[in-house]
Amino acid sequence: MRAFIFPGQGSQAVGMGAALAAASPAAREVFQEVDDALGEKLSRLMAEGPEDQLQLTANAQPAIMANAIAVLRVLEKEGGIRLAEKADFVAGHSLGEYTALCAAGALDLATTARLLRLRGQAMQAAVPVGQGAMAALLGADLAKAQAIADAAAQGEICTVANDNDPSQVVISGARAAIERAVEIAKDHGAKRALLLPVSAPFHCPLMQPAADAMAEALAAVAIQAPLVPVYANVTAAPVSDPDTIRALLVEQVTGMVRWRESVLAMFDAGVTDFVELGGKVLGGMVKRIAPDAVATSVVSMDDIEALVKAL
């Protein structure tokens, strides 16, 4: 069995998608459709920068999605690969869940781009810059990370945001609490703790204003049943019902990304082949979570051609 998986924030880089667009009309169509949906040339920002603008959450989220969907469309239109025939499940990390839903036909591309632009803006606006923070705890599993967060909270928000893999958990919350967590992490058994260069504390209760904004936006869009089930971040379980998908996307804004559990659940369901489209971060996580699984990252035209031969 096979799952197509889609990356989250952090995989953006100036130049993303440029070579693919130069080589493929199918990729250019995706970037043009996203540009039209947003009413601006996001594709130019992706290709040329400046980097500080691309790093803004409101730009990075639709850009990462567009890049991954461009890879998928080249696979489909030029490689003759049909997702429904080659994938048993899809999943994505945080914003990647929207990409997965778009890939599986639950959301159309223009709607996905607009939702992610709004999601990025709402998450940025939810907490004033400087008041929130996130930190990666390396060499810490979920139990250690939870203990560190609890000890550092001292009445402030400090929670696990991303359970990425057995050796990397990300925490999120009020800046002072996160800084305390970084200071005490080694005492609680983590190898290292480092503040992340993010502009807001994602996936924690401080994001409630963004969750409210997404609830309103998602209520107004059509969601179809996906071609294959989507593993949801907040449940680490497959979902196909459109109303459930809508509710879980709202919950995801403040909830923990249960990526480690999602990969384990897919592996336990029989998935042995994980194909990451549009990034090179999740493949490494998959190998740390399920060492017996095969993980392939597909970004370039060469990657796509190799995958077509393998499938």
- State residue 17's pLDDT score: 96
- State residue 10's pLDDT score: 87
Name the DSSP letter for residue 249: H
Mapped onto helix, strand or coil, the DSSP state of residue 280 is: coil
Mean pLDDT throughout 94-110?
98
Give the pLDDT band (50/70/90) at residue 207.
very high
Quote the CA–CA distance of 3 and 8 in Å, as a whole number. Answer: 16
- What's the N-to-C CA distance of the chain in angstroms? 12
Buried b (16+ CB within 10 A) or exposed e, 267-279: beeebebbbbbbb
Domains in the chain and their CATH numbers?
Answer: 2-126+206-310 (3.40.366.10), 132-198 (3.30.70.250)
Take residue 11 and report the two structure tokens written for it. 């995989």
Q: Using a pLDDT cut of 70, give the percent of the chain over it.
A: 100
Mean pLDDT throughout 97-110?
98
- Is the pLDDT at 295 greater than 90? The verdict is yes
- State residue 104's pLDDT score: 98
- pLDDT digit string (tens) for 226-267? 999 999 999 999 999 999 999 999 999 999 999 999 999 999
Mean pLDDT throughout 15-43?
97
- State residue 129's pLDDT score: 85
CA-nearest of 93, 119, 99 to 250 is 119
CA-nearest of 262, 252, 254, 222 to 102 is 222
128 Cβ partners below 8 Å, 6+ apart? none
Quote the CA–CA distance of 187 and 232 in Å, as a whole number. Answer: 33
Give the pLDDT band (50/70/90) at residue 306.
very high
Question: What residues are labeled active site?
Answer: 94, 203
- State residue 158's pLDDT score: 98
189 Cβ partners below 8 Å, 6+ apart? 139, 140, 144
- State residue 198's pLDDT score: 85
What is the edge-to-edge ordering of all strands in the sheet holding 238-239? 238-239, 230-231, 89-92, 2-6, 273-277, 294-298
Distance from CA of residue 238 to its chain's centroid? 16
- Does residue 102 contact residue 109 with C-beta atoms inside 8 Å? yes
Take residue 17 and report the two structure tokens written for it. 């998608």
Mean pLDDT throughout 204-222?
98
Mean pLDDT throughout 192-208?
94
